Amino acid sequence: MNPKVMIFDTTLRDGEQALQASLSVKQKLQIAFSLEKCGIDIIEVGFPISSPGDFKSVQTISKNIKNSRICSLARCITKDIDIAAEAMSFSNSFRIHIFLATSTLHMKSKLKKDFNEILEMATLSVKRALKYTDDIEFSCEDASRTTMDNLCRIVEKVIDLGVKTVNIPDTVGYTTPNEISSIIKNLFERVPNIDKSIISVHCHNDLGMAVGNSISAIQAGARQIEGTINGIGERAGNTALEEVIMAIKIRENILNVSTNIKHKEIYRTSQIISQICNVPIPSNKAIVGSNAFSHSSGIHQDGVLKNRKNYEIISPSSIGLKEMKLNLTSRSGRAAVKHHMNEMGYKETDYDINELYASFLKLADKKGQVFDYDLEALAFINKQQEELEHFSLNFFSVQSISNGLSTASVQLLCGKKIYTESSTSSNGPVNAIYQALNRITHFPIILQKFQLVAKGKGKDALGQVDILVEYKKRKFHGVGLATDIIEASAQAMVNVLNHIWKANKVNEKIQNLKKK
């Protein structure tokens, strides 16, 4: 069996420090539950001395989390340590994480102390913490800029006192993989009692090397990695734990270690934290980004359809993601178009692939991204019909009162007929417009996503509205662009209505062909 690397999550402590607004107790508990379900070994749930709200959060979480170990942060100050222990007193077993700066820069400019005074503070604090629990973690703040002699001295001292985990943080993200590897190796060579403690690293991402540094530390002997889900945290963030975890899994033959993580919970946990913390995940983010398992190049799409291992080193299902995404763009080849048609249930004999692909390329150049319902329209509706939009917004007006009802009137061209409808809503003018449009079309639509993005700056900036709706168990995308965001919202819905109308026409044509 490969030795275990403990995963220490600080999303609720270091991660929350980077958020624009503090999380509620309920939100923190929800995150803690998701981390526990994912199999995180240690959850650092807060810094209890920092505020009454943080104390309450730590206390609430300690009452509810049973399978992961709870940890709280404390400075080398008696009151910090006492409050941390009190906040976690409902937990059967907990860890107190105490930290103290050890670099010459921090000692002189921040603490105004010499190294002997630092040793004394560390000694008194460790002894104090040991009165509450035998699970103490000691962090040498700014360890990566601490002289090797001083680092070895304090690590040996705290281990001798009974510290079970010693953390070597790259507090400002300054270190390179070779440097942190050298630091860890030096500790193992020079600290005589090093075998009595787990060596941990906590890397920041200021130079974009947090994950690389963490992996190098593992190879040098570290057996605990600290970080956050999605890499959120101070400044440029922390080590993205999901990246380290999957690197350990995929390169297990080289790293020769493993974790206790339930890998199929990774994607769900990432999404929960992104939503609660209101921190979007970049599309190109490793492991959990929307493009992590999507393919746009025609060559890649053909290769992955023949064997996913050609261009995927990680199976989407291994992190709890069921779908492989082949983006349909002008770079896509025939293989991707055939795959989408096949996924919709069409055989190659149902359409002409050459004509479809030629039409697809023209639409992709014009539209950017093509969806399955676009392919249906191209395959089964003649070009004249395809060019025409069945629905067109002639006119709309809205009246809205804060904390009151919004009223909307719309005039919609449906083919050659014009329909007018009105609606009121307590959820704002956009909802009122959508209800009025729905009264005209009678499509059973469920709005799943509404996103507004500013295009440009100033009063002339355009608002782009992207929506995703569900109609009869199928998803349809719509886009609207206008200086007036309500108009852009209305255009996006009309765009969706036209997609649905075309899909219905395709279905009618298919059914008629089957009858023949």
Annotated binding site for Mn(2+): 14, 202, 204, 238
Helix axes 429-441, 485-515, angle to 10 degrees: 20
CA distance linking residue 80 with residue 47, whole number of Å = 9
Query: Sheet harboring 417-425: ordered strands across?
Result: 391-400, 406-414, 417-425
Proportion of the chain in helix, strand, coil states, percent, rounded to 5: 50, 20, 30
* CA dihedral (329, 333, 339, 344) positive or negative: positive
Cβ atoms within 10 Å of 192's Cβ, excluding its own: 11
From its phi and psi, is residue 466 left (phi > 0), alpha (psi between -120 and 50) or beta? beta
CA distance linking residue 192 with residue 237, whole number of Å = 34
CA distance linking residue 45 with residue 47, whole number of Å = 7
What does the block give as tokens for 230? 């999605």
CA distance linking residue 378 with residue 372, whole number of Å = 10
Binding residues: 14, 202, 204, 238
Pairing of strands 294-295, 325-326: parallel
Q: Which residues contact 308 (CB under 8 A, 6 or more apart)?
A: 315, 324
What does the block give as tokens for 348? 């190659």
What does the block give as tokens for 490? 């209305």
CA distance linking residue 92 with residue 169, whole number of Å = 28
Q: Which residues contact 413 (CB under 8 A, 6 or more apart)?
A: 391, 392, 393, 394
For residue 291, the one-letter residue type is N
CA distance linking residue 314 with residue 364, whole number of Å = 29
State the burial class of residue 25 (Cβ atoms within 10 Å of its Cβ: 0-12, 13-18, 19+).
middle
CA distance linking residue 390 with residue 157, whole number of Å = 78
